[in-house]
Amino acid sequence: MPQRALVAGGAGFVGSHLCDELLRRGYEVVAIDTLLTGGRTNVDHLVDEPNFILLHHDAADALSVEGHFDLVLHFASPASPPWYMKYPIETLHAGSIATEALLRVAERDNARFILASTSEVYGDPAVHPQPESYWGNVNPNGPRSVYDEAKRYAEALTAAFRRSHRVNTGIVRIFNTYGPRMALGDGRMIPAFAAAALKNDPIPLHGDGTQTRSLTYVGDLVRGVLALADSDQPGPINIGNPREQTVREIAEVIVKLAGSTSEISYQPRPVDDPERRRPDISLARELLDWEPEVDSETGLAETVEWFRTHSRSAHDSRRP
Residues with active-site annotation:
147
Q: Residue 159's Cα: distance from chain center in Å?
A: 20
Beta strand pairing call for 28-33 and 52-56 = parallel
User: Contacts with ligand NAD in 211-270 (CB under 6 A)?
Assistant: none
Q: Does 316 bind ligand NAD (CB under 6 A)?
A: no
Binding mask 100-129 for ligand NAD (x = CB under 6 A): ----------------x-x-----------
| Alpha-carbon distance values, 303 to 166, 177, 178, 184 (Å) | 40, 11, 8, 11
Q: Does 9 bind ligand NAD (CB under 6 A)?
A: yes
User: Contacts with ligand NAD in 52-71 (CB under 6 A)?
Assistant: 58-60
State the Cα torsion 224-228-229-231 to the nearest 10°.
140
User: Contacts with ligand NAD in 129-168 (CB under 6 A)?
Assistant: none
Q: What is the largest CA-CA distance in the chain?
A: 58
Q: Does 98 bind ligand NAD (CB under 6 A)?
A: yes
User: Is the CB of 98 or the CB of 260 nearer to ligand NAD?
Assistant: 98
Sign of CA dihedral 40, 44, 48, 52: negative
* Closest separation in Å from C-beta 236 to ligand NAD: 12
CA distance 202 to 163: 51
* Closest separation in Å from C-beta 30 to ligand NAD: 12
Looking at the chain, which runs of residues are DSSP E strands?
A: 4-8, 28-33, 52-56, 71-74, 112-118, 168-174, 177-178, 203-206, 212-214, 216-217, 237-239, 244-246, 264-267
Classify residue 240 by burial, with Cβ atoms within 10 Å: 0-12, 13-18, 19+: buried
* Closest separation in Å from C-beta 13 to ligand NAD: 4
User: Contacts with ligand NAD in 10-39 (CB under 6 A)?
Assistant: 11-15, 32-38
Residue choice 27, 52, 69, 75 for contact with ligand NAD (CB under 6 A): 75
* Closest separation in Å from C-beta 1 to ligand NAD: 26
> Which residues form the interface with ligand NAD (CB under 6 A)?
8-9, 11-15, 32-38, 58-60, 75-79, 94, 98, 116, 118, 174, 176-177
